[in-house]
Amino acid sequence: MRIKYQKIGDILIVKDNLNEEEIKYLVEKTKCKTIAKYTAQITGDFRTPHLKILYGNETETIHKEHGCLFKIDVKKVMWSMGNIKERERMAKISNENEVVVDMFAGIGYFTIPMAKHSKPKKIYAIEINPTSYHYLCENIKLNKLNNVVPILSDNRKVEFKDIADRIIMGYVHKTHKFLDKAFEFLKDKGIIHYHETVAEKIINIRPIERLKFYAEKNNYKLVGYKIFKIKKYAPGVWHVVVDAEFERINKN
Ligand SMILES: C[S@@+](CC[C@H](N)C(=O)[O-])C[C@H]1O[C@@H](n2cnc3c(N)ncnc32)[C@H](O)[C@@H]1O
């Protein structure tokens, strides 16, 4: 039998409805406690999934990835398998001298691996959704991290100035609208990991134009960048991340 599934901890997410025989096969093969299927696209600012349970009833699990533990309720909070490489990349990209702000922390998708493997001085992990924030706090404890400060808030209401060497903007819903805030957080020099969904034809143009526009508006200049494709988002549309390096323009 060939059935495609994603495994999050001991929960399977499948694409199609399954018959009894298929469910029995998957349960025996994977020892999963629950099988579920997404019924619609992830929606809203909180990125809430819509799920139909096909087998079992528990939706909370602990997922292991890159040496980290992620407690998550798959019914309440999203988990993107397509971002696995990016989570690995973020794990290694910082260092012990940096202060990082994760503006869209979720349950700690990027914060947890980065805090554990790169060991920056501090990561301020901001999350607006109380359910995701709850799991973010759980995951900080589970991974025994003492360099993460979780903040339950809309990142636009957080009043930090000039504190970050590095900023993660892991969100793809009009992310550019949050760039003014990112520049408030940024020190004189720093890096922003800017995510966006963009049509294939303008992958190398639109994100960079937006970054340049907001940099200039906030008295910074873009001094270097690299664009990475994360995954196909829709036909002809890519989820990309730009590692963008900025310097404040001296007013004198
Ligand atoms: C798409 S999820 C994070 C996905 C993650 N980067 C991954 O790899 O799967 C984005 C998170 O940003 C949060 N969020 C959205 N708007 C926000 C805001 N204004 N301030 C803080 N968090 C916000 C959402 O609740 C959600 O948990």
Q: What is the pLDDT of residues 201-249, one digit of tens each?
A: 999 999 999 999 999 999 999 999 999 999 999 999 999 999 999 999 9
Q: Which of 79, 85, 128 to mutate to test the pocket of ligand 1 (most atoms within 8 A of CB)?
A: 128
Residues 49-62: tens digit of each pLDDT: 788 999 999 999 99
pTM: 0.94
Residues 92-115: tens digit of each pLDDT: 999 999 999 999 999 999 999 999
Give the chain's domains with CATH numbers: 5-73 (3.30.300), 81-248 (3.40.50.150)
Query: Is the distance from the beta carbon of residue 126 to the nearest atom of ligand 1 less than 6 Å?
Result: yes
DSSP collapsed to 3 states, the chain: CCCCEEEECCEEEECCCCCHHHHHHHHHHHCCCEEEEEEEEEECCCCEEEEEEEECCCCEEEEEECCEEEEEECCCCCCCHHHHHHHHHHHHHCCCCCEEEECCCCCCCCHHHHHHHCCCCEEEEEECCHHHHHHHHHHHHHCCCCCEEEEECCHHHCCCCCCEEEEEECCCCCHHHHHHHHHHHEEEEEEEEEEEEEEHHHCCCHHHHHHHHHHHHCCEEEEEEEEEEEEEEECCEEEEEEEEEEEECCCC
Distance (angstroms) between ligand 1 centre and the Cα of 23 equals 32
Residue 2 pLDDT: 86
Nearest protein CA to atom 16 of ligand 1, as residue: 45
Q: Which of 74, 81, 89, 104 to mutate to test the pocket of ligand 1 (most atoms within 8 A of CB)?
A: 104
Residue 252 pLDDT: 59
98 annotated as belonging to a binding site for a ligand: no
Query: Is the distance from the beta carbon of residue 108 to the nearest atom of ligand 1 less than 6 Å?
Result: no
ipTM of the complex: 0.93
Distance (angstroms) between ligand 1 centre and the Cα of 196 equals 13
Nearest protein CA to atom 25 of ligand 1, as residue: 46
Query: Is the distance from the beta carbon of residue 139 to the nearest atom of ligand 1 less than 6 Å?
Result: no
Query: Is the distance from the beta carbon of residue 132 to the nearest atom of ligand 1 less than 6 Å?
Result: yes
Distance (angstroms) between ligand 1 centre and the Cα of 2 equals 34
